Amino acid sequence: MQRPPDPPDPGAPQRKYRSHARRAAAPTDPPADPSAEPSLPESQGKPPPPRLVRSGASSTVRRVDILIPRPPPPLKAPRPDVVKPDDAHSTEEAGVVRHSRIQREEKEFELPKGFWISLLIGALCLAAVITLVTLVKGWVGDYRGEQEERARAEAELVERANHPLRYRDLIEQYAGENNLNPALVAAVILCESSFDPDARSHLNARGLMQIMPDTAQWIADATGEPDFSQERLYEAELSIRMGAWYLNYLAKLFDYDVRKMVCGYHAGQGNVAAWLRNPEYSPDGITLKVIPEADTAGYEARVQRAILAYQKYHFAEDAQ
């Protein structure tokens, strides 16, 4: 009697590999695996080379080399704003995409809220500052102008007070008879005696125009003055008449050059004639460039300033 075969051991390991004979008899193409990834179309290019994975040494399965294909890189979806329509049916969709892109760009460059109000406020502030600066400049200019005008008026008052005028009728009368500027006669009287008819210098010059006694006698003889005496030089009318005549004489002698006339009245006609012959004082013998005597030079400068003052404040109508 034979022994029945032993039942299969449930704990025994199952055979996971076919024998060489069955492996050879198996079809070459493996069955389709529903979990396997679909193959890529030819238009996508060749799949990447398979990756070699080796089983671990601790596995109970016999070490076998398994080739697992590497998954293809994910495809990037095209951006909606750069979609290029391929036919006429996608033109409308492309227009919508471009419109949305323009809206997005406008939104990116959108001005912040309240920009125009801030700009308007800034412009108003700038205009206010400019207006204020202009007003301040105007006020400062007006103030300076007022100060300058006040200073000018005060200077004119002082200058007018320093150039008084007395015996105006006599001055205008004898200046006209001798073809002289009345401002010149008044300036000589001011610088000689300050309109004091009783003035007398240390050189014994007398009267308003400080005529020396010998010069006065020579003028009296030349003009035929009756009953002349040295004491009469204190008479205002006689002093102005003789002084105006002598200035006219010097004007004819020196070609109506006021500079030489005034120097001759102060230093004498002989000295002025000698200065004109000296090349150091007069290069051409006509124009007196240098006045060698300091007293005469200062006198001439004072008379010239007084002429301008009298011409401005008292005889302006005569110059017109």
pLDDT tens digits along 185-238: 999 999 999 999 999 999 899 999 999 999 999 999 999 988 899 999 999 999
Q: CA 283, 288, 290: angle at the middle one, nearest 5?
A: 85
- The answer to whether the predicted template modeling score (pTM) of the entire model surpasses 0.75 is no
User: In this predicted model, what pLDDT tens digit does every residue of 230-269 receive, in sequence order?
Assistant: 999 999 999 999 999 999 999 999 999 999 999 999 999 9
Whole-number Å distance between alpha carbons of 270 and 261: 12
**pLDDT for the residue 145:** 87
Contact 231, 247 (CB under 8 A): no
Residues of the chain with pLDDT under 70: 1-70, 75-111, 318-320
Alpha carbon separation from 173 to 7, 178, 179, 241, 244 (Å, rounded): 176, 9, 10, 9, 10
Q: 3-state class of 52 per DSSP? A: strand
Residue with tokens 């030089």: 233
The answer to whether the Cα torsion of 262, 265, 269, 271 is positive or negative is negative
**Structure-token pair, residue 137:** 């400049």
Coil vs helix vs strand at 239:
helix
Look-up: residue for tokens 């396997």?
A: 36
User: Quick one: pLDDT at residue 110?
Assistant: 65
